Chains A and B, each alone.
Chain A
Amino acid sequence: MEFFITLIQVLDSTVRLATPLLLACLAGLYSERAGIFDIGLEGKMLMAAFFSAAVAAVTGSVWLGLLAGIASSLVLSGIHGLASITFRGNQLISGVAINFLAAGMTVLVAQSWFQQGGRTPSLFGGGRFVPIEFPFAESLSGVPIFGPIYSELLSGHSILVYIAFLMVPATWWILFRTRFGLRLRAVGENPAAVDTAGVSVVGLRYAAVAICGVLCGIAGAYLATALQAGFVKDMTAGRGFIALAALIFAKWRPWHAMGACLLFGLLQAIALRFQNIDLGGVVIPVQVMDALPYILTVVILAGFVGKAIPPRAGGEPYVKER
């Protein structure tokens, strides 16, 4: 029974830790499916984390914080779009620049506004997203097996967690069942064909980059106002890159993205709870758990276990023929 409680706790923590990964991963999915590589997910999340926490701290309203987070992330998306769509620059270099811009600006502005060494004041009350308790969660918690699953694992997360997981079927539906989704995927595979059909390549790509910005904004706001209570320097801690890894792991598909993010979230949850894991004599050091998402991604990229093929026009600026 003790094992079962531990399991539930680890899985609960998995869901919490997978949420920002999932949001960022889906964000990257829209962008990369439209042919815009985005290694700036990390930066956008970080920027959104700061501005959501800052605005929530000042106004006391977490919803205003969320809006501010999304807006700040959208600004970075705009820069990325400008560089990689309008000026046909190198998308990877633009992403690198955005990551640094966010890493520097957040601390700079935080120091200027709050003088607390690059962090925001701790959030409390209306400044944070509160857990949502499902109906009867309290009274059902005594029921064996089902009780803990319902009241611990499924209930008691903030609304952003449920939004993130609802985004998975929504993304699948948008990409594979709507006209917009078809065009978005087409523009990532063969933009010339989309252009010939009379649909704006530039418009579609900007739309994809904007969706990416919104989702990264939610991911960042979740980090600073739900998972933790306030912004601290570099709080994304590589999550944007793990999300990128998850995206490749999932081979740019929404449902698989959820699986990959849950897997990587589980690794984080285990690393957080157990440190070094003793498997009957063989000790797995915590660093292996930290590195595992990246190692798995390299293995997948190497194509020894099912090849990951990115959208064909990914990373290529589209030049209209004259």
Chain B
Amino acid sequence: MDKMPKWADVVLIPLISLILAAILSALVILAIGENPVEAVNLMVTGALGSTYGWGYTLYYATNFMFTGLAVAVAFHARLFNIGGEGQAMLGGLGVAMVCLYVPWPHWSIALLAACAASMLFGAAWAAIPAYLQAKRGSHIVITTIMFNFIAAAFLNYMLVNVMRPQGSQDPATARFSETVHLPTFQSMFSTAENVVFRGAPANISFFVALLACVVVWALIWRTRLGYEIRAYGHSETGAVYAGISPVRITIIAMLISGALAGLMAINNVMGEAERLVLNSTEGAGFIGIAVALMGRSHPFGVFLAAILFGFLYQGGAELALWTSIPRELIVVIQALVILFTGALDNMVRMPLEKLFLGLRKGAE
């Protein structure tokens, strides 16, 4: 017997957790001597009040969709991939190599190649922790954390010693050529008399992210592999009894997860920066954890949560611009969301379960 109706599990618990996180965030803003209502107003106008704001919100949301999906897929196999950050960094390296060293005739072909390269590099970076978890039993959380640091050092080396153009002091690659620049929302949606999304970084990768959401949904709920991943995530012994190989599922789920995290690079590296810089991921790999937890590991939930975090990111940047509240407020909110939707889930769940049980007894 289910203790709670499904809608409560899917909608009510995340909502209550979110409200708790919001209340605490408001208290934090109060404590540092600012007005939370004004702050929210400023965030809403800054992030959603103009096409420019939306252009940034959706740009950030695109990053978070990729990393959120990455964490979500791993969650389905009950694997906690903290390595999205490193995998996205390596994805960036793949994109940079494809865009710098191959003369592409058109951006569309370049985008396909960049997708393939970023997924390949991201998956490759997840492959070693996956193998070690599956074959040697090394805890995936620890190994993926370690791989984040190794990725940062590796990227630092590549940018400083190998890929930096001669004479440049900046640890970054050369700019990609004009032909591989992705169409931005500004060029896609503006008409001659009405320019929208002016100067905002949102680009065609957003639609790739939407497509990725759909593909992941189909993969998890409409294919045999997705069924095996979910079965393994629910019960390892049950899955083994059904003839599902834990080694295979662990490795495949992590490869998909790494590929999705790597795919983020088409947005931030190819779409926005148009070159590879140090710390291009800006922590998006970690925000994926919050996004996946909030979205209950469902692609549609991930989509909504990614938009929410995109809003928070852009709103936070506006706050930092106009008030004395630093951008780190967003990190606090992110922490509270992870805490309430992830670690303190039972704190919200237990009283609710009691409530629903009580209601049901009353109805009988």
Q: Does B36 contact A (CB under 8 A)?
A: no
Within 8 A of A (CB), among B120-156: 128, 132, 136-139, 141-143, 145-147, 149-150, 153-154, 156
The reply to whether B339 and A97 form a contact with Cβ atoms under 8 Å apart is yes
Most buried by A among B28, B332, B336: B332
Q: Mark B312-329, 1 if CB is under 8 A from A, else 0.
A: 000000000000111011
Question: Known contacts A90-B343, A101-B336: does B141 contact A39 (CB below 8 Å)?
Answer: yes
Bound complex: CA A92 to CA B81 (Å): 11
Residue of B nearest to A109 (CB): B32
Bound complex: CA A223 to CA B131 (Å): 36
Bound complex: CA A111 to CA B329 (Å): 11
Bound complex: CA A294 to CA B335 (Å): 25
- Identify whether the interface residues of B are mostly helix, strand, loop, or mixed: helix
List, in ascending order, chain B residues with CB within 8 A of A105's CB: 28, 328, 332
The reply to whether B32 and A291 form a contact with Cβ atoms under 8 Å apart is no
Shortest Cβ gap from B333 to chain A (Å): 8
Within 8 A of A (CB), among B326-356: 326, 328-336, 338-339, 342-347, 350
Q: Does A196 contact B (CB under 8 A)?
A: no
The reply to whether B146 and A298 form a contact with Cβ atoms under 8 Å apart is yes
The reply to whether A301 and B335 form a contact with Cβ atoms under 8 Å apart is no
List, in ascending order, chain A residues with CB within 8 A of B153's CB: 287-288, 290-291, 294
Question: Known contacts A97-B335, A303-B136: does B330 contact A238 (CB below 8 Å)?
Answer: no
The reply to whether A104 and B332 form a contact with Cβ atoms under 8 Å apart is yes
The reply to whether A96 and B289 form a contact with Cβ atoms under 8 Å apart is yes
Q: Does A82 contact B (CB under 8 A)?
A: yes
List, in ascending order, chain A residues with CB within 8 A of B56's CB: none
Stretch binding the partner chain, chosen from A141-149, A167-175, A184-192, A241-249: A241-249
Shortest Cβ gap from B26 to chain A (Å): 13
The reply to whether B136 and A287 form a contact with Cβ atoms under 8 Å apart is no
Q: Mark A221-252, 1 if CB is under 8 A from B, else 0.
A: 00000000000000000100100110010000
The reply to whether A301 and B143 form a contact with Cβ atoms under 8 Å apart is yes
Give the size category of A's interface with B. Answer: 35 or more
Residue of B nearest to A297 (CB): B146
Q: Mark A61-98, 1 if CB is under 8 A from B, else 0.
A: 00000000000000000010011100111111110111
Q: Kindly identify which residue among B132, B160, B326 contacts A108, using a CB–CB cutoff of 8 Å.
A: B326
Most buried by A among B80, B145, B161: B145
Within 8 A of B (CB), among A194-221: none
Bound complex: CA A287 to CA B342 (Å): 34
Bound complex: CA A229 to CA B328 (Å): 23
List, in ascending order, chain A residues with CB within 8 A of B286's CB: 96, 100
Most buried by B among A97, A295, A298: A97
Q: A94-B342, A298-B150 are in contact. List 9 more A-B contacts (CB 8 A).
A: A82-B344, A87-B346, A97-B338, A97-B339, A111-B324, A115-B324, A287-B156, A301-B132, A302-B132
7 contacts between A and B (CB under 8 A): A87-B346, A87-B347, A92-B141, A93-B343, A101-B336, A108-B328, A301-B142
